[in-house]
Amino acid sequence: MLFADVLAASAAVTATRSRTAKARAIADLLQRAAPEEVEPVTAWLAGDVRQGPLGVGWRTLSRLARPPAAAPSLTVSAVDEALTVLAGTSGPGSTARRETALHALMDAATADEQPFLVRLLTGELRQGALEGVVLDAVAVAADVPAAAVRRAFMMSGSLPETAATALHGGVTALDSVQLRVGRPVRPMLASPGSSLDAALADLGRDVTVEFKLDGARIQVHRDGDDVRVWTRTLREITDSVPELVDRIRALPCRTAVLDGETLAVDDDGRPRAFQDTMSRFGSDSADAGVLLSPFLFDVLHLDGRDLLDEPLSVRLDALAGLLADDAHAALRMPGVRSPAPEEAAAVLDRALAAGHEGVLVKALDAPYAAGRRGKAWQKVKPVHTLDLVVIGAEWGYGRRTGRLSNIHLGARDPDGGEPIMVGKTFKGMTDELLEWQTRTFPQHAAEQHPWGVVLRPSLVVEIALDSAQRSPRYPGGVALRFARVLRYRPDKTPAEADTIDAVRALLTGTRVGAPGAHSGASNGAGVHPRGAAVHRSRDDAPPAQGARHAPAGDA
């Protein structure tokens, strides 16, 4: 198959807003692909490469302007082999060898193929936002139930591998993909709850209400003395967190797959800055001056028994038994099962008073829906927040002259298009953060102008806002009101940013600070999460705290 065929399918996907039409275009390509071509084609159409980090950045590619080939000749296999070479190139002289490989690849590419390759190599090609559409396409191409494809993907964590399994082995092969200790599964995610009262009304009394920490998601696998730790993006961090490994190794079990959060706490047990936690994941040395504590809230496997399909109540019983000893009790996420409304409110108040984000309300009868964001888990936080993609920035003026300040914010297109602009903000930025933006944004620039820069979709920022309003100025028809920066989210990719639908859902929200504010636990915004104006959240950080939001690396 020619690489040009992949470009044609990508163009067909871009040209339509119909999810069904997108899936059909991808399915047609997958059905024509040879067995060895299925995995690379699937990865590329999901905006990724199957080789992992390639060691190629914009600085290298900017030096590689090459005359394009006159006619398509590159094959899928040739491009995939070139990417494998790039990923495996390291050590002394690797830069020169990498450039030689890139020269050969670009020399064989046409004028249409060259920019596509650049976007693919730099991770700009859709940023994985088409993942759900590609899964639908795999089901169509293999003529198998979409549910079987999705479950196999959750268990394997690899979209290309799942596509190959479906197309080569059908339902039988997909059903054989099960949880395996030592191979991470995609984590179950929570949806924003409009308020504690609304979450309880939606899910009923048969729930657990647990602390929502301002930490980093971890998944821990144990097989005998071998303990491994992954982040929410399934990046392994085992070598960076020996204290977590030691705590899990001390548990009274042989095999386990555990879900939880980790964060750094101070001597009083209060959470330290989110940045302190994130800094550990980017360290080459385990001794970073910050110790992490694990807080476990779920168990997916225990001593030979898979628990994914069991209701949460069964999984919590298994976790309670595992952590029953006083020496391990502190590893359990604080919470209350089947609480009365006043007990649930007390959990929320305790979480906020302890410096945490809020609570999670979880249905006790729900299985573990790996990789899905459903209503069975709902998070309740003090104020509206959204995780958005930074798509541009303007040069500041006044005291901000010479620094990139006013950032342009985009919400994720659920159909896989480019981020949809929903507003701008320069509020909530400390001098340290402004300096970081000015230093970092040019590395992600797609275009540079006298007024500022247009950024490739690669950075995610958490924004607090009062509400949203209808606006004809922006393509999504909605704009943020009183948006301010809380922090950057190096633990999230643009594929995990909030969608334009999440922004539109705030059109019916109540403005933060509206009547009904609770006089109990202070959350810094004047609204208690039991009230009507609650969506994803945290306190609006004052300038003295803003420095803790400077990014540190992926987690």
Characterize the bridge pairing of strands 216-223 and 255-264: antiparallel
pLDDT at 517: 30
pLDDT over 70 percentage in the chain: 88
SS3 423: strand
How many residues does the structure list for the chain? 555
Mean pLDDT for the stretch of residues 34-61: 86
Q: What is the mean pLDDT of the chain?
A: 85
Q: Identify the band that residue 193 occupies on the pLDDT scale cut at 50, 70 and 90.
A: confident
CA distances from 337 to 153, 197, 265, 355 (A): 31, 16, 25, 22
User: What is this structure's pTM?
Assistant: 0.72
pLDDT tops 70 at residue 538: no
Query: By mean pLDDT, which of 42-46, 83-87, 485-489, 535-539 is the weakest?
Result: 535-539
| Catalytic residue set | 212
Residues 6+ apart with CB under 8 A from 305: 318
pLDDT tops 60 at residue 498: yes
pLDDT tops 70 at residue 540: no
User: May I ask the CATH architecture of the domain 3-175?
Assistant: Orthogonal Bundle (1.10)
pLDDT at 58: 67
Tokens of 517: 């504010």
Mean pLDDT for the stretch of residues 224-236: 93
Alpha-helix residue ranges (DSSP H) falling in 408-460 = 431-440
Measured distance CA(358)–CA(345) in Å, rounded: 10
- Which homologous superfamily does the CATH classification assign to the domain defined by 189-380? DNA ligase/mRNA capping enzyme (3.30.470.30)
Q: How far is CA 8 from the centre of its chain?
A: 29
Query: By mean pLDDT, which of 56-60, 137-141, 190-194, 536-540 is the weakest?
Result: 536-540
| 8 A C-beta contact, residue 114 and residue 65 | no
pLDDT at 120: 87
Phi and psi at residue 18, in whole multiples of 5°?
A: -80, 120
pLDDT at 505: 85
pLDDT at 287: 46
pLDDT 10s digits, 399-426: 888 999 999 999 999 887 889 999 999 9
Mean pLDDT for the stretch of residues 34-59: 87
State the burial class of residue 508 (Cβ atoms within 10 Å of its Cβ: 0-12, 13-18, 19+): exposed
- Which homologous superfamily does the CATH classification assign to the domain defined by 385-549? Nucleic acid-binding proteins (2.40.50.140)
Q: Where are the domains of the chain?
A: 3-175, 189-380, 385-549
pLDDT at 137: 95
Tokens of 3: 């690489």
Which residues in 475-492 are b (16+ Cβ under 10 Å) and which e? ebebbbbbbbbbbbbbbb
Measured distance CA(38)–CA(195) in Å, rounded: 44
Mean pLDDT for the stretch of residues 187-209: 91
pLDDT at 554: 31
Which of 409, 374, 380 is closest to 392 using CA atoms?
409
Query: By mean pLDDT, which of 153-162, 261-270, 286-295, 438-447 is the weakest?
Result: 286-295
| 8 A C-beta contact, residue 387 and residue 492 | yes
